[in-house]
Chain A
């Protein structure tokens, strides 16, 4: 009941002209960013983070979160109408959504995606309302060893799940940790890894790295080829679902939403894995699995419900524990830190207005997105006709000015450019970028809690196994590292048998 009271206060926080307008701006930008291939929600959030310096933290976080889940809705448009996923989490939508569009049912695909995303999103936010407070209260029992292992789990799980090569993902995470070591030691204040460059004394900020790795790198990669695929047309009257289509989709929405939320809550897994898992699950449960891949509306419903539920589910560990579960929540967490707010289990009580305002804003944002995506979908389709070549210069210009504005100096601009190149190579070499960003955000917590733990135990590593909670987390860390190792070995054995 207390949660509902606090949620009521959250709605009161949202219902100010400033906050409402920023929620609408956030979801609108998210919708557009999601629809445009070549830039994902994480990139959009990183690029627009400097724009939030002039507004209160709660308003800023509501807007950035709007971009995060708005992107899940927007990605559908390009997947269905162009057969190019607007962002990674819409990959599975393209499989059946575009087939539906080719059969003249693009409107129905967009409709069920919007309805599924809305229902699963609202259900996921409701779950966030009831799960986050007890989890945060439980996490107040955590001490340095648990925090160290939780941060480590966030990194290892992100690196282990959903990547082709866990070694590559772990290397990316390690690079993030190495970058975070640059600057001044947080406990003794000693200079570290500055390689004689005074500009590095303050360390390497999260923002220019994220702008470079996500924003600049994605634009560079997209501009390699000057391609522009014209989207298929859709009309408002085509968006009505038939009774049969609705009957096929409703259980898929429930299943997809559930799978998505559970995957989203897990540290490291994100909306992309959620949508893939939900699609596969739906195919397995379907009485006619052969329809999948040929325009199955339940496939679209499951994938879209899952990615939106996962985007909201990832907020649970972020709000309750201060551990981001995905690249987008890592940017959200960084935004909190940049606005002078300390994340962690204390956030729910210390920043109650912000947290409940954010949760309430997600209900409002999902409703706005439903309106944007049902009657206004044909309008957004027109946006897809703008050639990417005319959008890219704006994205790059905002990237550079955003990096400059964060410290009013060109050092961050150079860092952004350098990481733009690093990110481009990571895309080319198929290295995942999310673990790098996640590790960069979690590194300060990881290092300080590790050193505090060893200080508490007089240097003994037993502290990580003697405490039951720490021991349980250690098992999870080991499992997250062992899982990819075992699968790699199995792959090697399978190859040897074949060879």
Chain B
């Protein structure tokens, strides 16, 4: 069995166990009425059954190989995720739109290695579209940073 077959099944088992544990204190059945734990507990049971089925299935059938990203591609995904995580972290300080602008610049220039001028054009269009739609049209109060933008 490959880790790619085993890990999802194990995660489902962990999730099912967490649900069963968390709903211990809740009512499963009261007189003739199902309680708040009724469906979650059944879902946990189904989770265990499916996880076992998946393990059995992966033992019997050889699955097609999974196309994991190579090292540069994995690094690229990690950098994009890092940039995405930085946006909500930096927004209270910089403001959401400036944080997004920095993210777009980082993505185009540092991660995807695009040329400067087309990247700057893309940056301007992206910021313009976000600002135009969400702020100017829909009136969404996006968080502003120390610079007031």
Binds B, one of A76-84, A112-120, A451-459: A451-459
Which listed residue (B22, B123, B133, B137) contacts A193, Cβ 8 A?
B22
Query: Does A431 reach chain B (CB closer than 8 Å)?
Result: yes
Instruction: Report the separation of the CA atoms of residues A307 and B147 in the bound assembly, to the nearest whole angstrom.
Output: 50
Instruction: Report the separation of the CA atoms of residues A54 and B136 in the bound assembly, to the nearest whole angstrom.
Output: 12
Query: Does A167 reach chain B (CB closer than 8 Å)?
Result: yes
**Chain A residues closer than 8 Å to B19, beta-carbon distance:** 178, 181, 193
Shortest distance from the beta carbon of B84 to any chain A beta carbon, whole Å: 6
**Chain A residues closer than 8 Å to B57, beta-carbon distance:** 165, 167, 488
Shortest distance from the beta carbon of A283 to any chain B beta carbon, whole Å: 24
Shortest distance from the beta carbon of B23 to any chain A beta carbon, whole Å: 7
Most buried by A among B43, B88, B118: B88
Which listed residue (A216, A396, A408, A491) contacts B141, Cβ 8 A?
A408
Q: Please, which residue of chain A has its CB at the minimum distance from the CB of B36?
A: A185
- B142 touching A404, Cβ below 8 Å: yes
Which listed residue (B15, B61, B137) contacts A54, Cβ 8 A?
B137
- B122 touching A390, Cβ below 8 Å: yes
Size range of the chain B interface in the assembly: 35 or more
Query: Does B107 reach chain A (CB closer than 8 Å)?
Result: yes
Query: Does B130 reach chain A (CB closer than 8 Å)?
Result: yes
Instruction: Report the separation of the CA atoms of residues A393 and B137 in the bound assembly, to the nearest whole angstrom.
Output: 21
**Chain A residues closer than 8 Å to B119, beta-carbon distance:** 390
Number of interface residues of A (CB under 8 A): 65
Knowing A226-B112, A410-B91, the reply to whether A192 touches B134 (Cβ < 8 A) is no
Instruction: Report the separation of the CA atoms of residues A450 and B35 in the bound assembly, to the nearest whole angstrom.
Output: 11
Q: Please, which residue of chain A has its CB at the minimum distance from the CB of B108?
A: A393
- A389 touching B114, Cβ below 8 Å: yes
Instruction: Report the separation of the CA atoms of residues A171 and B64 in the bound assembly, to the nearest whole angstrom.
Output: 19
- A450 touching B8, Cβ below 8 Å: no
A 404-441 contacts with B by CB, 8 A: 404-405, 408, 410, 413-414, 417, 420-421, 424, 428-431
Q: Please, which residue of chain A has its CB at the minimum distance from the CB of B133?
A: A51
- A174 touching B4, Cβ below 8 Å: no
Query: Does B146 reach chain A (CB closer than 8 Å)?
Result: no
- B81 touching A421, Cβ below 8 Å: yes
A 340-394 contacts with B by CB, 8 A: 387, 389-390, 392-394
A 167-184 contacts with B by CB, 8 A: 167-168, 170-171, 174-175, 177-178, 181
**Chain A residues closer than 8 Å to B108, beta-carbon distance:** 389-390, 393
Which listed residue (A50, A429, A491) contacts B61, Cβ 8 A?
A491
Query: Does A205 reach chain B (CB closer than 8 Å)?
Result: no
Shortest distance from the beta carbon of B113 to any chain A beta carbon, whole Å: 8
Q: Please, which residue of chain B has its CB at the minimum distance from the CB of A402?
A: B134
Shortest distance from the beta carbon of B122 to any chain A beta carbon, whole Å: 5
Knowing A223-B76, A390-B122, A400-B87, the reply to whether A54 touches B139 (Cβ < 8 A) is yes
- B50 touching A401, Cβ below 8 Å: no
Q: Please, which residue of chain A has its CB at the minimum distance from the CB of B79?
A: A223
Query: Interface code B1-40, partner A: CB below 8 Å = 1, 0 otherwise?
Result: 0001000100010010011001100110100111111111
Shortest distance from the beta carbon of B110 to any chain A beta carbon, whole Å: 12
**Chain B residues closer than 8 Å to A495, beta-carbon distance:** 60-61
Instruction: Report the separation of the CA atoms of residues A454 and B32 in the bound assembly, to the nearest whole angstrom.
Output: 7
Interface majority SS (helix, strand, loop, mixed), chain B: helix
Instruction: Report the separation of the CA atoms of residues A408 and B68 in the bound assembly, to the nearest whole angstrom.
Output: 36
- B77 touching A459, Cβ below 8 Å: no
Interface majority SS (helix, strand, loop, mixed), chain A: helix
Instruction: Report the separation of the CA atoms of residues A170 and B47 in the bound assembly, to the nearest whole angstrom.
Output: 9
- B77 touching A171, Cβ below 8 Å: no
Knowing A167-B50, A192-B40, A193-B19, the reply to whether A397 touches B104 (Cβ < 8 A) is yes
Query: Does B129 reach chain A (CB closer than 8 Å)?
Result: yes
Which listed residue (B51, B60, B100) contacts A401, Cβ 8 A?
B100
- B77 touching A220, Cβ below 8 Å: yes
Q: Please, which residue of chain B has its CB at the minimum distance from the CB of A453?
A: B34
- A400 touching B100, Cβ below 8 Å: yes
Instruction: Report the separation of the CA atoms of residues A416 and B20 in the bound assembly, to the nearest whole angstrom.
Output: 26
Knowing A174-B46, A428-B68, A495-B61, the reply to whether A405 touches B138 (Cβ < 8 A) is yes
A 50-98 contacts with B by CB, 8 A: 50-51, 53-54
Shortest distance from the beta carbon of B105 to any chain A beta carbon, whole Å: 9
- A430 touching B36, Cβ below 8 Å: no
A 132-177 contacts with B by CB, 8 A: 165, 167-168, 170-171, 174-175, 177
Query: Does B93 reach chain A (CB closer than 8 Å)?
Result: no
Which listed residue (B8, B84, B96, B104) contacts A431, Cβ 8 A?
B8
- B43 touching A178, Cβ below 8 Å: yes
- B61 touching A181, Cβ below 8 Å: no
Shortest distance from the beta carbon of B124 to any chain A beta carbon, whole Å: 11
- B126 touching A224, Cβ below 8 Å: no
Q: Please, which residue of chain B has its CB at the minimum distance from the CB of A431?
A: B8
Knowing A171-B50, A181-B40, A400-B100, the reply to whether A429 touches B4 (Cβ < 8 A) is yes
Most buried by A among B29, B51, B133: B133
Query: Does B54 reach chain A (CB closer than 8 Å)?
Result: yes
**Chain B residues closer than 8 Å to A188, beta-carbon distance:** 27, 35-36
Q: Please, which residue of chain B has its CB at the minimum distance from the CB of A170?
A: B50
Given A389-B108, A428-B67, 9 other A-B contacts at CB below 8 A? A170-B50, A174-B47, A178-B15, A216-B84, A224-B69, A397-B126, A405-B140, A430-B66, A447-B39
Can you offer 13 A-B residue contacts whose CB atoms are under 8 A? A53-B138, A171-B47, A177-B43, A181-B19, A192-B26, A192-B37, A393-B103, A394-B126, A394-B129, A408-B141, A417-B81, A430-B66, A459-B32
